[in-house]
Amino acid sequence: MARITSRYVSSHISPSGPGDARPTALQVVKDEEMIDKWAGKTILVTGANDTTGLETARALHLTGAKIFITTRSATKSAAAIKSIIDSNGGERGGIEAITMELGDLSSVRNAAEEFLSRSNKLNILICNAGVLAQEFGRTKDGFETNFAVNHIGHFVLFQQLKECLIASTTDSFNSRVVVVASIGHRMSEVHFEDPNFEHRAWDAISAYGQSKTASIYMANYIDRTYGRQGLHAWSLQPGGIASNLVRVSEEEKQAIYSNPAIFPWVKTPEQGAATSVWAAIAKDLEGQGGRYLESMQEIGE
């Protein structure tokens, strides 16, 4: 099977930092000639209140599809919706919000139920929300926090929505699930015998890596299990995002900005959302899935 690539690969060969020639999510929508072309389609994006999630929803809103976003609060949802409508010049296909806490499975199930009460169609589910190397903790359901939020919550959400995704598939456009993973998956395999660190030493980076490896497995499972029913899935890593640096110390931030081996690879949120949007709408990906994307192309590891 040929490795999947795109017109954008060359722009990633010698990056020069945020805002360079690497594409933005908006550019992908324009290049795919999808502005206002998707009236009647429905897309759900989790964690769309800031950074790459917000920019993913903003770009996809321009397609004319009905957009649903999830955030952890009504206040965050309102701010995100206003930002998207203001920048895109109006409602277009419409945009609505659902409050959801991925670390609480009752909240996830309630969010899925609320979505299904508002829409009988779902063409694309983008599992974008997540946490970054949280310190040790357990959710109310008893799961380690990173694993619960980054993987289990999204897996349960998918299970609640899969019938709607399958029912929405058509011959011209198979439904898609896009799972945002991370290069951090290289930090840990999934410890199936002890995913919650009950019998091994705690390490936040390993916990994060495990959760993102599980995200990749999830996408592969979906594609392998439901591909014949017209439901496909992709996993991807968006790259290092400039706005995420607010979550590190000033010393760590300066170390990144001054490191010539790291800084050129950092992206703006708009650039970080590009691979997610490409996976969601690219015509060249129709009827395919089960592979891992990075820098607008398939990567083997």
Q: Among all residues, which ones are annotated catalytic? A: 208
Give the span between the Cα atoms of 61 and 34, in whole angstroms: 10
The single residue listed with the structure tokens 């929405």 is 168
Total residue count of the chain as it appears in this document: 301
Angle between helices 204-226 and 153-168 (to 10 degrees): 20
Strands 42-46 and 124-127: parallel
DSSP 265: G
Contact in structure between 54 and 24 (CB atoms under 8 Å) = no
What are the angstrom distances between the C-alpha of 281 and each of 60, 80, 86?
Answer: 9, 22, 23
Give the span between the Cα atoms of 216 and 73, in whole angstroms: 27
Residue 222 has which token pair? 């979906």
Query: Sign of torsion, CA 234 235 241 243?
Result: positive
Residue 253 has which token pair? 């931030």
Q: Is 150 exposed, middle or buried (0-12, 13-18, 19+ CB in 10 A)?
A: buried
- The CA-based diameter of the chain, rounded to the nearest angstrom, is 53
